[in-house]
Structure 1
Amino acid sequence: MATPSVPWWRDAVMYQVYLRSFRDGNGDGVGDLRGARAGLPYLATLGVDGLWLSPCFPSPQHDHGYDVADYCAVDPLFGELDDVDRLLADAHALGLKVILDVVPNHCSTEHPRFREAVLAGPGSVARERFHFADGHGADGELPPNNWRAMFGGPAWTRIQEADGRPGQWYLHMFTPHQPDWNWRNPEVANHFDDVLRFWLDRGVDGFRIDVAVGLFKHPALPDSPDPAADEEARDAVNPLAWNQPEVHQVWRRWRAICDMYTASDGRERTLVGEVAVPTPADQARYLRPDELHQAFYFDLLHTPWDASAFRQRIGAAMRDIASTGAPVTWVLNNHDQQRTVTRYSRGAVLGEKPDADRGTARARAAALLMLALPGSAYLYQGEELGLPEVTDLPPEVLTDPIVTATGEPDRGRDGCRVPLPWSGTQAPFGFSDAPPERSWLPQPGWFARYTVQRLRGDGGSCWHLYRDALQLRRSLSPLHDPGLHWLPSPPEVVAFARGGKFVCAVNFSDAQVTAPVCGKPVLSSLPCDDGKLAANSAAWWLVDNPPHACGQCPPSHETVDLTVTWKGLGD
């Protein structure tokens, strides 16, 4: 979508490939690089600009690849390095960018440097690469502090020393299989410089950075005033463990590396961070011109289906993030969150029975809203199919470490990670050549209604809605404008204009309303009669005078100019 004068990442729509569940290329029931490569023409046809590839590094898979044992190799489960090279070549030939998921906050207990640290003993140089500390109590039997892990349980695990005696404790803000690196040790920073260069040399177009607010911990490792905050919120809440000021030094260092590669060959690279912080203004600090190019804006993902809440959070992002010159990076789904179709199926009244049709309608509307906003967007595989969450997986197949740590299946993430349905009427629905019982997670029979093959043959399907929206987003010049302004609309409607011609309106209510502009929409998530906007729907129009295109609109909200002028990366 980006024009030649604007870096591609500023308004790209990227597609998250959760490798285990995208497509199986070797018949073992687990998605892999060969399968991802086979799916590239599908992504090109859909109309996205590129893909974010989940971790494919060697790993014991305790957290499905986010426990890395070697950052510069490929796990045999997914293929080999040559498969990455072939995927990059094929993607680039199709005009698709590829960004790789990198995990700098923690590694695996099987990483050679952690295994070396365990054997080296207290006070060793090897242990200084991690957070090893003596325990409290008469015999050091209590953890060094009261921090809790985000996935449940204490954030510390005690090791057995080489002589067989109980020894020091190591810090892990996720699972005991994922020790946190100590970024106050210069060797760690140097190691990751080499990791970035290794993959940039192979041709990746950038990196998605896991836990980008992590890395540095308070040097004294003091007790937290609210030790259960991280565990309860499953978010980066503990201010002693997350969002330390020193982390910005890392992103300046990584930005300099990417900029050096861009300067050498003219190919723009991007760094997109998983930046979970309290406010958009906090996120903006990570997006200064010499730090991250992008950061996922998770606020919409956590926002209930409510017009006022969406309007407020979009406005905050435009005011506090876009005004810095960085694009807002919108997201509604990912591999850690319940899918929108299911999330939006719930009513506003506590205990109200979920309504699947309502959830589907709202998810379609939310997609048009996100793709109409200025900035970039990230889609999660399967959202273009309108896939609901799989909420009834048998307990014995659940693999999420959150479930293991908490004993609470409802907190797990397996339901959004079930392998994609590609074709046919029975599992494995074209995902794999293996029998369905070998798929790493089972697919329900109702997936037959959501196969790629079936939806591509239905012109009114969710797939066609996404494809049409992506084509219009690329071709309509007003959608290249970096700003927006709100239009007068009823309280239950969010409406805005871009580029002097384009209007998007979303009806958040369960009843049909008068559209904020007159005329037939160029695209709508549900059929809209002229002058009307269906319940739980969104529509796009091209009009001559958006702020006053329809004199019948109630002036419930003032027209607010949120236009942002991009100053350029060097400013």
Structure 2
Amino acid sequence: MKGSPLEPADRDWWRDAAIYQVYVRSFADGDGDGTGDLAGVRARLPYLVELGVDALWFTPWYLSPLADGGYDVADYRTIDPQFGTLAEAEKLIAEAREMGIRTIIDIVPNHVSDQHAWFRAAVAAGPGSAERGLFHFRKGRGEGGTIPPNDWVGEFGGTPWTRLPDGDWYLHLFAPEQPDLNWDHPAVRQEHEDVLRFWFDRGVAGVRIDSAVLPAKDPALPDFTPGTDPHPYVDRDDLHAVYRAWRTIADEYDGIFVGEVWLPDTERFVRYLRPDELHTAFNLGFLASPWDAERLRASVDETLAEHAPVGAPATWVLCNHDVTRTVTRYGRADDTGFAFERKRFGTPTDLSLGTRRARAAALLSLALPGTVYLYQGEELGLPEAEIPRDRIQDPMHERSGGVDPGRDGCRVPLPWTAGAPYAGFGSAAEPWLPQPAGWEAYAADSQAADPASMLSLYRAALGLRRTEAGFRGAGLTWLDAADGVLAFSRGEGLVCVANLAEEPAALPAHTRLLLASGPLTGDGRLPRDTAVWLRV
């Protein structure tokens, strides 16, 4: 499949796009130093064109000490030297666009790195200084101020407060290396608006907003009482003015936003998707659903229903850089895979079962109305890797007391070439995370030559999704089906059927089998853990 230059007038591309998440550090190593980089991505653009994606979402590629995988940003206007230069980023954006692929970048408004110029200046300026007003500095409680200012629990566990030698404490909902910004300060708001313009001026098509419901805080920073409304730091009404201001900037450039919005309250969730705020938001409920027909159908229905009032498209994702890889998750007895104890080293996993389900889930998710996100390596069917404890870099591991192995297992450098050093990820140095034994069995080059491979399945599915008009638009109609079977139609004459039941299922009458995640039975029925696309 060949790409083509993008049409500027195609402003609604994001409503049914297939977007590929690039974790640069683990994608492809262009200079042989063991770390993925922009040169590696540029060299692999033809692969991404052939895969059939519409856009690339890059997790943070900015200057960073990488205390949290780049989500601790030291300078938004500088590419981290491990990845390349700003000039290379500009070339990548332009080259991808010429090939028909747009670029989405990541913004992390809740916090910056402790190496950011603002925070370094705040630490040097001392208690009570204007510089500290950009963050949340407070005196401690108790005798001598030795107790943290409030009782909050951080996103990585433990107190989200760290005390400096001068006695002040600073807030960090994530790691200590990620101090939270004070969004009541006008300079914080202005800086982020300037950063948005900086990247839109360089041709990016959109921005993904990390932890989009967290930046605003109750100025009093009170203790947290469960059930308190409003919450002292989650989903505060102040945020909507911020995102409305951002939307005016995006509209100047025909840019789009996707927010990481984790909220159980549907009414609160859709506020972020009003026509003058964010364009889309990640639907993580679908990802969190187990391989169960009733639960998945409920997730689809709930998602479409909550998006309908504001006219925003739903988004679908099976995996990302923060969760257990799909084939591993679906191969475990409890396949939601979020709780720490479910991800322990040595958790029994049936990879054959998980792979069969992941193939079916690919067709199921790609057939749903809206935008789909594909995390790098999912198209290769990569499993979660168990990283040796002395090589784990994710701070979640240490902060969980070693209970959670962290997220590095889904961030292992990709295998590109069977028989090449480090499976073709790079030519010289050992990758920054070790690749497990047998990793080259998943290499892209060998999968490309195998019509039954996961890569071939994704290429075929993405190709049909792009060319079949029935996959566009917001419509979905559930069809009568046996218990444990999901069947729905899209547009005129397209049907998706996924069998999650124990026994093979009869297919509805059809004129053509467009694509199957696995072979049918000898009498033409759909086996368990298999999905098909039909023309009816």
TM-score, normalised by the number of residues in structure 1: 0.88
Any conservation in 2 of the 1:427–1:445 contact (CA below 8 Å)?
A: no
1:49-78 deviation digits (Å, cap 9, x = unpaired): 010011111111111211011111111111
Superposition deviation, residue 245 in structure 1: 1.0
Distance 1:173 1:247 in 2: 17
The letter for the 2-side match of 1:77 is: Q
Superposition deviation, residue 5 in structure 1: 6.2
2:252 to 252, 260, 265: 260
The letter for the 1-side match of 2:528 is: A
Superposition deviation, residue 354 in structure 1: 2.8
Question: SS of the counterpart of 1:300?
Answer: helix
Distance 1:114 1:528 in 2: 60
Any residues of structure 2 matched to 1:12-411 within 5 Å, and which?
Answer: 12-161=17-166, 167-226=167-226, 239-262=231-254, 269-347=255-333, 353-391=348-386, 393-408=387-402, 410-411=404-405
Any conservation in 2 of the 1:525–1:538 contact (CA below 8 Å)?
A: yes
Distance 2:231 2:384 in 1: 32
Correspondence for 1:419: 413
The letter for the 2-side match of 1:542 is: R
Any conservation in 2 of the 1:226–1:238 contact (CA below 8 Å)?
A: no
Any conservation in 1 of the 2:38–2:84 contact (CA below 8 Å)?
A: yes
Any conservation in 2 of the 1:422–1:431 contact (CA below 8 Å)?
A: yes
The letter for the 1-side match of 2:392 is: L
Distance 2:40 2:401 in 1: 33
The letter for the 1-side match of 2:376 is: Q
Question: SS of the counterpart of 1:404?
Answer: helix
Query: Which has the higher mean CA deviation after the structures are superposed, 274-283 or 345-354?
Result: 345-354
Distance 1:299 1:47 in 2: 26
The letter for the 1-side match of 2:115 is: E
Any conservation in 1 of the 2:370–2:473 contact (CA below 8 Å)?
A: no
| Number of aligned residues | 521
Superposition deviation, residue 214 in structure 1: 1.1
Any conservation in 2 of the 1:509–1:535 contact (CA below 8 Å)?
A: yes
Any conservation in 1 of the 2:16–2:473 contact (CA below 8 Å)?
A: no
1:499 to 488, 491, 509: 491
Any conservation in 2 of the 1:150–1:174 contact (CA below 8 Å)?
A: yes
Any residues of structure 2 matched to 1:473-484 within 5 Å, and which?
Answer: 473-484=465-476
Distance 2:284 2:230 in 1: 18
Correspondence for 2:527: 534
Distance 2:286 2:509 in 1: 25
Distance 1:542 1:6 in 2: 29
Superposition deviation, residue 242 in structure 1: 1.3
Question: SS of the counterpart of 1:192?
Answer: helix
Q: Structure 2 vs 1, CA of residues 52 and 276 (structure 1 numbering), >3 Å: closer, same or farther?
A: same
Any conservation in 2 of the 1:517–1:531 contact (CA below 8 Å)?
A: no
CA root-mean-square deviation: 2.2
The letter for the 1-side match of 2:283 is: Y
The letter for the 1-side match of 2:118 is: R
Distance 1:335 1:362 in 2: 20
Any conservation in 2 of the 1:487–1:496 contact (CA below 8 Å)?
A: yes
Superposition deviation, residue 250 in structure 1: 1.2
Unaligned residue ranges in structure 1 (runs of 5+) = 162-166, 230-236, 263-268, 544-571
Question: SS of the counterpart of 2:286?
Answer: coil
Question: SS of the counterpart of 1:179?
Answer: coil
Any conservation in 2 of the 1:488–1:516 contact (CA below 8 Å)?
A: no
1:221-256 deviation digits (Å, cap 9, x = unpaired): 1111259x9xxxxxxx99322111111111111111
Question: SS of the counterpart of 1:197?
Answer: helix
Distance 1:81 1:352 in 2: 42
Superposition deviation, residue 411 in structure 1: 4.1
Superposition deviation, residue 521 in structure 1: 1.9
> Percent identity among equivalent residues?
49
Distance 2:400 2:257 in 1: 33
TM-score, normalised by the number of residues in structure 2: 0.93
Distance 2:290 2:510 in 1: 28
Question: SS of the counterpart of 1:301?
Answer: helix
The letter for the 2-side match of 1:389 is: E
Superposition deviation, residue 513 in structure 1: 1.6
Unaligned residue ranges in structure 2 (runs of 5+) = 336-341
Any conservation in 1 of the 2:421–2:428 contact (CA below 8 Å)?
A: no
Distance 1:512 1:225 in 2: 50
The letter for the 1-side match of 2:211 is: V
Any conservation in 1 of the 2:273–2:280 contact (CA below 8 Å)?
A: yes
Q: Structure 2 vs 1, CA of residues 189 and 6 (structure 1 numbering), >3 Å: closer, same or farther?
A: closer
Correspondence for 2:339: none
Distance 1:34 1:223 in 2: 47
The letter for the 1-side match of 2:203 is: G
Distance 2:125 2:481 in 1: 66
Question: SS of the counterpart of 1:87?
Answer: helix
Distance 1:361 1:251 in 2: 41
Distance 1:290 1:276 in 2: 20
Q: Structure 2 vs 1, CA of residues 427 and 224 (structure 1 numbering), >3 Å: closer, same or farther?
A: farther
